[in-house]
Structure 1
């Protein structure tokens, strides 16, 4: 389906570009072809176009399967090309009719204006007015209406839960009768996060040693409309349950919907014997791509407020009584977590580290780290200052592959080369992005080639379907890669390579969900 949409959009983009060039030609009053010559030119041009189209249709299955085989997916069905082409024509026709509607609006405006002003001025003014009308209707009308519908839908989904599932009974759990966090306002992602995960008995069965009950503190968006207040509620809850008495403290930033990936947090709790406290505060109901575009500031404001109150309290504690403080985020959560990371504030008393998975392409700190990579280092997996402070990992590259020791502060980026959330580049509209100039990673199709406009559309569509890839590819991060990342960043005491393999055996057996219990 997405391939058909992409093909239809590409056809429409090519048509629009051609019409634009012809409009410039006519505006400059350059000579055109006569009717007979025009027909001959069309016939001549049709031959290479039809040959190119036939070649693309024949190779399309091979192109798609070159991606699927790398992700362990089955080959396409035999009739896939015919269905894709049919959908492409439908999409093209819909966009063509929409364009004709815009043309009719422009003609109406310019002809009315031409009665009172010169035709060239009428054309320019008519174009500007038509553009203003379209932008106003789409931005203030259609887009706002769609966003209101989406926001209400996602907000309603937050309250969907098992009616037989009540609040936690243990007083140390967020949302319990003793908690200052309202269970009814926590939202489904928060409730799932608080109630899931390994218990002390599960961890003891794995380690063979006594374990603690992991602490999971979560505050829902509906708790209060003010991000500062939500942050203060989270801090109060942390103090109530003794989060600062744990060995490891994680300041986590959820994704757009408030989701916390169990594959990451479960693994961390197993490897530290449950002596972990994790705190997260929800800032949106929308899926991450929508939240990134339409609620850009909400995640940044919330994570900054939470970081401020937690870090201020943490650094007031005696150094020998502080937990190790780590920042963590996935996808949009990684972006907001990076935004809250203030190296100037922490220069004298830095946190222990940060682990960011799937950092979105606008992330300033991630881009600055990329720019600091060593000469000749690849963008998809850079080397920065011998990996003393900043390292990159993927499903094919361990964070400790260099064998060099970490410094005092450990920052790790986990990113897949096939993740468009990470490697989308707006300049691909007209210029080949840097990562395509390098040898392509194993999870990227070797048949991928840069084509102006088309590559931009390909990457834009990839953004929309990035989480539909199998675990370990695209924007679907595998539990095994979280395990390697946490082991490297947090250095669990007494942990061995054999422990890593045992944990991988029970974590992410389906690649995505958390760790099996017992």
Structure 2
């Protein structure tokens, strides 16, 4: 149990530390400042409660240390009085709640969204207060446990050794409970829920009639085993008739190959199934062949794959394999290496066969991925091995912060280019773009390979970094992305939690955050693929045609 300012070991209902509450209020106020993504009252309240608890811990620790040093009686709270300190803390909370609406409004304005509701501050206060109380109770439980273990240790150990041993033992116990019970329990629930959702087939769901997709007529892959998003992928998208109507001339039916996680036990076996299906459908006879890695749940963004089908006039085969049921952030925690093995196995088997084909009679080979899929796709590129027989390129969307390639592009960018749209090298190998473009800015023509990064400046999954706790990021210095509020400021520790929470709510507004729109895929794909005869008028027509496309 955390001690008060005057008593080192108070009871369960003892008055909290006044200095701790003051620091907690300050941290809560800082958490209300604008961040990358608009936050609903529920998420803002959760963030405020967590950050306030951290602030309380820091304030309580400062009081504890000052007492140990004999300085407690000289602190300002002894001069002003505990009541005055608490009154200041309450005032900070009220001012923060009042200003929070304007701060949040600046983020909503940058995204073109309506202002916050009038009831938002009340909900934030209730949620933050409740969560803070729970965390405070857990902190007191930790201190009481530590004190009890220390008293037991003093029976056989010197006092200071017993104190250290008690702290270590309490940390081990609480760590085991959090990791072994709470965290693993949540992961089991998430895994079970994701598995059930992946297996659910809507009442109106039926195998596709197209013979050019997995699960369709003649396919060796069971449609029911493709998974939720695999079934959606092969059953949706434009038909040859849709594409022909847009171009005003005959078009092909796009080939879509997808292998679900339940189709085989190993990544290599699933990759082999995908390859065999690709061979059966004559995928290597198409003009374009795209190896696409899905997100952690197995989802492929229709905004990316449907635009691909239109731009190539249907003369394309897209192959993908599911490696997880879980959303990308959870997949990274559970087993990020599983996705790497799947991506590597799929790329290797496709690339090996592709290199055996005559250069003038094989498709143009590309890679694609969104979010965790982009990271996994990048991990499979054996850059040094591609020089003898290079692929044509890749479009990687929303590359997450754990991508070493994306980090390198940011770190080695031209000094006059912003971190949210970096300009790398002379532009012959790598170019980046956002909603406002960027691909046209280069010093040299494209080389044999074209690697295009598409990212939004307001995407926290792209720009999160643990160093946010102690260093201001480059994307908050100098020129800012248009979709990032000018009122956002870097605050040590707080910004780390803000952007971390932003990652959980980065979806939901098409064209911002981590929700990529078809209209922005179109110029990125066109630059990557360089389709014959493609014009600015074609781009504008396709954007207008797909303006209502929602990537879900």
TM-score range relative to shorter protein: over 0.9
- Structure 1 residue runs of 5 or longer lacking an equivalent are 514-518
> Whole-Å Cα distance in 2 between the matches of residues 107 and 306 of structure 1?
55
1:499 to 530, 533, 538: 538
Which segment drifts farther, 496-505 or 276-285?
496-505
Task: Give the one of 409, 432, 439 matched to 2:479.
Answer: 439
Deviation at 1:171, TM superposition (A): 3.5
Listed as ranges, the gaps of 5+ residues in structure 2 are 1-41
Give the SS at the match of 1:280. Answer: strand
Contact 1:169 1:177 (8 Å CA) reproduced: yes
Partner-residue secondary structure (3-state), 2:258: strand
Query: Residue 318 of structure 2: SS of its match in structure 1?
Result: strand
1:126 to 166, 183, 207: 166
Mapped partners of 1:476, 1:155: distance in 2: 24
Contact 1:398 1:484 (C-alpha < 8 Å) held by counterparts: no
Secondary structure (helix, strand or coil) at the match of 2:385 reads coil
Deviation string, structure 1 residues 65-120 (Cα, Å, up to 9, x no partner): 00001112111112211221122111111111111111121112111111221221
Question: Which residue does the alignment assign to 1:375?
Answer: 415
For residue 202 of structure 1, the aligned residue among 242, 246, 254 is: 242
Cα separation, 2, equivalents of 1:432 and 1:47 = 32
Structure 1 residue 3 and structure 2 residue 44: aligned? Answer: yes
TM-score (norm 1): 0.95
Q: Is the 8 A contact 1:272 1:493 kept in 2?
A: no
1:48, distance to aligned residue in structure 2 (A): 5.5
For residues 366 and 359 of structure 2, the distance between their equivalents in structure 1, rounded to whole angstroms, comes to: 15
Q: Does 1:250 align with 2:287?
A: no
**Distance in 2 separating the partners of 1:286 and 1:483:** 28
Q: CA deviation at 1:177?
A: 4.7
1:413 is paired with a residue of what secondary structure? strand
Alignment of 1:402-413 (within 5 A): 402=442, 405-413=445-453
Between Structure 1 and Structure 2, how many residues are aligned?
Answer: 511
d(CA) in 1 for partners of 2:75, 2:376:
60
1:428 alignment partner, one of 445, 464, 468:
468
Alignment equivalent of 1:161, drawn from 194, 201, 207? 201
Match in the other structure for 2:101: 61
In 1, Cα distance between equivalents of 2:223 and 2:86: 65
Farther off after superposition, 399-408 or 42-51? 42-51
Contact 2:518-2:549 within 8 A present in 1 as well:
no
Q: For 1:207 and 1:79, how far apart are their aligned partners in 2?
A: 50
Rounded to whole Å, the distance in 2 between the matches of 1:330 and 1:73 is 25
Q: What's the CA shift for 1:433?
A: 1.9
In the aligned structure 2, how far is the partner of 1:193 from the partner of 1:122? 61
Partner of 1:285: 325
SS at match of 1:376: coil
Q: Name the residue aligned to 1:325.
A: 365
Q: Retained in 1: the 8 A contact 2:421–2:438?
A: no
Report the aligned-residue RMSD: 1.9
The alpha carbon displacement at 1:476 in A equals 0.4
Mapped to 2, the partners of 1:74 and 1:34 lie a distance apart of 50
Contact 2:212–2:253 under 8 Å retained in 1: no
